[in-house]
Amino acid sequence: MGVFGNLGSGKTMLLTVFALRLVERGDYEVYANYTIRHPKIRKITPLELININPLEKRALLILDEVYAWLDSRVSTSTLNRYLSWIILQSRKRNMDIIYSAQLLRLPDIRLKELSDIIVLAENRQSGFFYKFIWQKGLSIFSKKILLPYQQAKNYFNLYDTREIVEPIFFEKMRSEIMGEIDIKSLNTEIDKIVDMVMPKIKDRKITKSLIEAVLLEIGKPRSLTDIIYGKLKLRGI
């Protein structure tokens, strides 16, 4: 689902509402690229997204200002293409995605084409107005919802509207992680690095500081610390 609207139109609030309702149902692991003040909702970085591996529960990925991660103007960067590949495979990975952007032209067009629902957000005097649009067969349907300010106030303290979504440093990550490698080979290459790290750590307690030191020892960039840490956890180490 994609939510579009001007600054202050209530996009982030709608994302937060969906995140809270779905995490409270108990059948979703919820991740977001901004801080939502709820103990069961985890803030993640672009690299951490690679390590999300939904098993027993579905994963819900909340992406506010999605252009910071998947900007159509720089869609040729290697990490951007890899993240696009992960997200576009979301249904196969047992993952649902809700994202927001100010302009319809900003996100990757393939993401918009895969969006089951488009929401147009608007800030009106009476509250926040949302128009949901979806297609079923050849027919287009829509539904309008108004969230009065009195109700909206309940969500204001759960997120910071001034928080800046951390963008991808495209060229830096391309050169440090994978060079010009084929994006589908990234997991294989990272697994090879994990295999190099494991003998170095042996039976020691796994910490990010230890992983960073080992990466420097084997000549790999320390920017891989988080992703290697996540891979080791997935292996049960």
Which residue is associated with the tokens 């990550």?
A: 173
One-letter amino acid for residue 143 of the chain = K
Contact 95/52 with Cβ under 8 angstroms? yes
8 A C-beta contact, residue 101 and residue 123: no
Q: What's the confidence (pLDDT) of residue 73? A: 47
Residue 181 has pLDDT above 60, yes or no: no
CB atoms within 10 A of CB 19: 24
For residue range 53-85, list pLDDT tens digits in order: 666 678 898 989 887 666 544 444 555 565 666
As a whole number, mean pLDDT of residues 94-106 equals: 80
Residue pLDDT, tens place only, 108-163: 666 676 788 999 999 988 899 999 998 877 778 899 999 999 888 889 889 887 77
Mean pLDDT, all residues of the chain: 78
Domains observed in the chain: 2-167 (3.40.50.300), 171-235 (no CATH)
